[in-house]
Chain A
């Protein structure tokens, strides 16, 4: 099975700075990896998917990298805003029909 590790500590950054969140996995390298955002009392919201042959993926202020050698994905939010405060989850597919989700990293952007 797959073990996923995300920043265990909550991340606090100043508005306007770049937030960098880490997702490390321990076992096989998946064909792709996903990032989700979750707000309190809500279900996760899909943000980005990156495939193993893609080193980097961007969407507006978001950037995701995927390094299969390091078994790591980095999630960056540039020019962060207080509205970006949430928990961010990474998810990897298993060999079946489901995803393993990390426990998430709580991000707070301070005005």
Chain B
């Protein structure tokens, strides 16, 4: 597509439930990133995928968080047993290459855990 697409745009869930957030990157972009942004905070890196390489999971805050990228395209971020502190905007970005190249971000999924 023309841009990075994320769904849903908004998600309200009860504490303890599992949620799945989806990211559809720009076609042909081999690099895909997940960040989250809490109110008044900077973007926090979560996970990075590059082609068929093993993902860089160093930013995942706990083992309740996981992500996969199927066929080098669509990615799903899963949060199990959600907690209130997971409430944030989850942003996905893709890039044609790593390094000195700008990211294209989606509009994000606003997750609210009640």
Task: Kindly identify, within residues 32 to 79 of chain A, every residue whose CB is under 8 Å from any CB belonging to chain B.
Answer: 32, 34, 36, 41-46, 49, 51
Interface: A111 (CB within 8 A): no
Taking CB atoms, residues of chain B closer than 8 Å to A101 are 35, 42-43
Task: Kindly identify, within residues 93 to 111 of chain A, every residue whose CB is under 8 Å from any CB belonging to chain B.
Answer: 93, 96-104
With A and B bound together, what is the CA distance between A27 and B102 in angstroms?
22
Which A residue sits closest to B50, measured CB to CB?
A: A97
Do the beta carbons of A43 and B48 come within 8 Å of each other? no
Give, as a whole number of angstroms, the nearest-CB distance from A25 to chain B: 13
With A and B bound together, what is the CA distance between A100 and B43 in angstroms?
8
Selected contact of B43 from candidates A31, A32, A44, A51, CB within 8 Å: A44
Do the beta carbons of A34 and B102 come within 8 Å of each other? yes
Task: Kindly identify, within residues 28 to 76 of chain B, every residue whose CB is under 8 Å from any CB belonging to chain A.
Answer: 31, 33, 35, 40-43, 45, 48, 50, 56, 58-59
Do the beta carbons of A43 and B41 come within 8 Å of each other? no
Do the beta carbons of B102 and A46 come within 8 Å of each other? yes
Selected contact of A46 from candidates B31, B50, B59, B104, CB within 8 Å: B104
With A and B bound together, what is the CA distance between A102 and B108 in angstroms?
18
Interface: A89 (CB within 8 A): yes
With A and B bound together, what is the CA distance between A32 and B99 in angstroms?
9
Query: Which residues does A use to contact B, with CB under 8 Å?
Result: 4, 31-32, 34, 36, 41-46, 49, 51, 89, 93, 96-104
